Structure 1
Amino acid sequence: MTLALKLPAVGGQRKGGEGTGGGSGPSPAVRGDLVEYRLVGKPVAEGTYTPAVSRLAFAAAHVVADPLGDNAPGAPAAIDWEHTLQFRRHLWSLGLSVAEAMDTAQRGMGLDWPATQELIRRSAAEAPDGRIAVGVGTDQLPAGEHTLDAVIAAYEEQLAVAEQAGAQPILMASRALCAAANSPDDYRKVYDRLLAQSSRPVILHWLGAMFDPALDGYWGSDSLDTAADVVVGLIADHTAKVDGIKVSLLDAAKEVALRNRLPEQVRLYTGDDFNYPELIRGDGLRHSDALLGIFAAIAPAAAAALKALDDGDLGRYEQVFAPTVPLARQIFSAPTYYYKTGIALLAWLNGHQPGFGMVGGLQTGRSLPHLAETFRLADQAGVLTRPDLAVDRFRRLLAVHGVDA
């Protein structure tokens, strides 16, 4: 059976034609009409996988909103726990580890601290041994100015929650710290204190301003090279307490340069949702491991590609990953911090949650044409695992927007 529906036309499309397959930048220009789109992708077989042995791979998972909860902007998060945890079981079944309570789970964009604590505890209680790491930040602090001591205390409170849950901590980049710090020395004061008291090696976290504008100038400098010097010095002084650092700068060259400066035993976890295939593959000398939001959206493909890498089949690795890159660039296009909307959309289209809703009402963060292009590229990437369901659900989404498809 041929699956087809009408979708908003985008720049470069002709009536009756297929999608452009682009998505490397902002959402394509809307043409103001509809074109028929026929699904062409072959879904990547899901299966069950064991964890990869050549790379560590974390998928940063989203949360599923309770459809009957008051998930309005600014309201406390009401979470559908059954489907939220079910999605994590799905990721674990594919051999992926879970990065919990990260920005993908809408930290600072709808997920409040009480809900975050519950999320950490519930997920950690179900996680296979050693296959969960959780975000530790300062987002319980109210808006406004804070001292460095207050920032440290907030981090310590969240670090205690992570350690009590038995999960590996990820020391998230902090808006409060970025606002309070006046120099790299202020960052060192905070991180020196936290690393000294952590009971196990942590993952550091460097999130670029495209993901969160409030983090512009993190590590005390607007220069990425100068900021990298601060990071390298911090890690050199605490090598035994640092498992690795997640870097989300969307700049492959900067990531490789930093990776080459790290001690051999310290991992670089790529958070580059634009260039992950080449960074995970590596250059023959060093490679990046993975801690990626896009892995939640392309989980079957990620599992299959990592299996191919384990098997030494680089041709298969490239074949699986290559068509996911246009999709990733679409989902993470500017404004990048709304990428969570695309992650939730694909979870809904693939049947992992009953509705397309998000805490904080963030499902409105992307336009219908943007979501339509995400649908096209997900098909072409082979990550619409249940195409008939995806077509039916996207047709219903179009109808809600007043589009007869």
Structure 2
Amino acid sequence: MKEKGMTEKRKNGQIPEAINHILDTVKEIFAQEPQVYETFKNCYTNTLDTAVHHMKDNTVYIVTGDIPAMWLRDSAASLRPYLIPAKEDKEIADILVGAAQRQAAYICIDPYANAFNAEPNGNCWEKDETEMNDWLWERKYEVDSLCYPIQFAYLIWKNTGRTDQFTRSFAEAAWKILTVFRTEQYHEEKSGYRFTRRNTYYTDTLSRDGKGPLAKQGIGMTWSGFRPSDDACTYGYLIPSNMFAVVVLGYLEEIARDVLKIPDMAREAAVLKEEIYEGIEKYGITRKEGFGEVYAYEADGFGEFNLMDDANVPSLLSMDYLGYRGRSREVAENTRRMILSETNPFYYKGEKAAGIGSPHTPAGYIWHIALCMRGLTAQTAEKKRQMIMLAVSTDGGKNLMHEGFCADDDTKYTREWFTWANAMFSELVMDYCGYKIEKETHVSCGMTE
């Protein structure tokens, strides 16, 4: 890896002018709450300071924080707040495009992998029983890992006008994504994907000799082995990830039609989008006493549902943020009420905060990502501000966000350095201050708090 450009400037203490404008605005708006500004400044500059690595092939490698690997999901989410200054700053835009190009190259190597090495050095999380190669840090198949790179490339286009992320490798990666999503509609019959991790927790490996949870075939939705937490799915159809797939397939349809000029890809994306959407609306909804009809977190197509939500995005809480709109606004609102209550087994209340955590972290630990997502999907500025202040007051005195923190004592937390959480807080503060990321809004579900 080599360092140059923006990273070198940051090492010399230079903050890009486009970012300085944002910092000045936040400082002015939160003049009476200086800790908000200090935390925002730390979080917002942290990724540029620590996670961005320029590669010899002019792509950009993004570490996820305290783990020296590049996750497709985390790298896209961590860079998302820089879409705003990238409108004015070419060097920031170059970082985004370089990361998108590297994501596409990784998908071409293996669309079933979730995390990759900077080079083919054989480093990995564990010696898992799956089709590994020296580029792969981990090969947990997650639908969202293929959604994020499409979303990221699309948002770069819409926010900066850049299209050089749509390379030949991007087109190849897009075809691979379509093929995988199509194959995994029939996981039981057509998929060769297997994953086994020995001597570990059951959430870190797949059942049935690595084949994973049994799901009904051909119902529209596409199967996922793991959640965006990297935990194994209980049931094979992860509803929030399928919702995300619907949205990004719409993006891919537009990219293929208007940029890549590949009509067959546009048609395939459109057809697959409709099939997955129909599957969600038919098989992803159930009834919960006290709430009415709600979206499940997971389903198997046979009638079994997992009613919960997880802090990691995509989540049910993030439907509006992602841009998914189902047929019934009432179902979406019922779902939000359910998951923001103790009916959700991972909703915790304590002396410091109340919010959504994850089975990925200890019981009673709330995630900053979920607090920020609640703010980003709130319909009022007052609620957004409330979530900002709650996040700042639960940072454990570090002026940075963490993964999970104890609801009773925020000095007890997981992960000292987590770029995704820092990015979510940054985006929430910017959203409150009027900095909006350009995206398609006509598919927003429009839920209220």
TM-score by length of 2: 0.32
TM-score by length of 1: 0.35
